[in-house]
Amino acid sequence: MSLILTLSELDGDTLARSSRETLTFARSLADAHGWDLHAVAVGEIPDTAMADLRAQGVAVAHALLHDQLDGDAAPAAIAAAINELHDRLGAGALVGSGTDHAAEVMAHVAARTDLPLASNCTEVAPADGGWDLTRVRWGGVLLEDVHLEADVALLTAAPHQTAAADAVSPGAAELHSFKPELDESLHITRVVERASRGGGISLATAPVVISGGRGVGSAEGFGILEELAELLGGAVGCSRVATNNGWRSHNDQVGQTGTRVAPDLYVACGISGATQHWVGCMSAKKILAINTDPEAPMVTRAHYAVIGDLHELLPALVTEVKNRRGVG
């Protein structure tokens, strides 16, 4: 056992930010064990992504090549391929990101190998022949220290918890192609259609999120949030109360059962700051709360706050922003 295999995902030609965070997380464990850091990705790995892998200290990059993995592979097939690779390499640990896709692949790997899988870890270190790790519970409001005993450590890294940092010395990132056998029966789950929202700024990656809760009061009430978000080049988010009332689509929901965001600025309009909402926005660099209640948890936890009615502030703010821009 002398290596850690890390599942890496691409974002266009580069390594996804979540995968860079995960490699940095995995590297600390590799260093503690004195193991090599390997990466595995589905399909050909472009040069720019290879450069990212090198910077992260990756010794070997495995490209999984198979017809069944072209474009429309379900996580079950990717997991089967990773499993074959793992059988070949004998990795001491398998690590993926805690993103929807990677977490699903890792769960399939865990089910196939019948090994325990520790989800959304923030820290890990070898201890007593196993591992001591810290993982996220309740979406991030609580941490759990766990001792893991297993032949191989299966882990996912909690998103936004480890800042991606380059290795002190870059890795060789030797490129190996791996052609898994893959059982035909894995074909039974396939992606038959894929549609892009087309344009627009996605909630998960927007630099600023203007989010509304019960205080917004109606679907129409979100109009002014839309206007502000558009002016600032951001996206509109919402609380579960807004989705449950049918004011917004669940795709806009921020929180434990919605999307986790990490923008430069998160503006919470009429949102109380329940724990399940807070965990979705706490990774924002700055948080501004707009609320009538100075005691609301969102206000007391935010970096900045305005006390007052959002229906009064937001129109004034849109005018102010337009003036400073010299438009309207």
Residues lying near ligand FAD in the complex (CB under 6 A): 213-215, 239-241, 253-258, 270-272, 274, 276-277, 280, 290-293, 296, 309-311
Contacts of 269 (CB under 8 A, 6+ apart): 210, 211, 212, 213, 215, 216, 225, 290, 291, 310, 314
Phi, psi of 29 (to 5 degrees): -70, -40
The answer to whether 164 and 24 have CB atoms below 8 angstroms apart is yes
Number of Cβ atoms within 10 Å of the Cβ of 324: 8
Residue 112 buriedness (CB in 10 A; 0-12 / 13-18 / 19+): middle
Nearest distance in Å: CB 56, another protein:
22
Is residue 206 within the footprint of another protein (CB under 8 A)? no
Residue 319 in contact with another protein, rule: CB under 8 A: yes
Partner that binds at residue 82, options ligand FAD, another protein, none, CB closer than 5 to 8 Å by kind? none
> Alpha-carbon torsion 10, 15, 21, 26, what sign?
positive
The one of ligand FAD, another protein, none whose footprint includes residue 136, by CB under 5 to 8 A per kind, is another protein
CA 26-30-32 angle, to 5 degrees, is 115
Select the residue interacting with another protein from 57, 139, 180, 212 (CB under 8 A).
139
Q: Are 147 and 132 in contact (CB under 8 A)?
A: yes
Q: Which is nearer to ligand FAD, 35 or 247 (CB)?
A: 247
Q: How far is the CB of 306 from ligand FAD (least distance, A)?
A: 9
Answer for which of 44, 179, 218, 308 binds another protein (CB under 8 A) is 308
Q: What is the dihedral of CA 45, 48, 49, 51, to 10 degrees?
A: 110
Least CB distance to another protein at residue 217 (A): 17
- Provide, rounded to whole angstroms, the least separation between the CB of residue 272 and ligand FAD: 3
Segment lying near another protein (by CB under 8 A), choices 22-30, 44-52, 164-172, 309-317: 309-317
45 vs 74 by CB, closer to another protein:
74
Stretch touching another protein by CB under 8 A, among 33-41, 55-63, 84-92, 106-114: 106-114
> In the complex, what is the shortest distance from the CB of residue 315 to ligand FAD, in angstroms, rounded to a whole number?
12
Residue 325, interface with another protein (CB under 8 A)? Answer: yes
Q: Which of 296, 56, 88 is nearest to 178 (CA)?
A: 88
Site residues for another protein, 155-194, by CB under 8 A, read: 156, 188-194
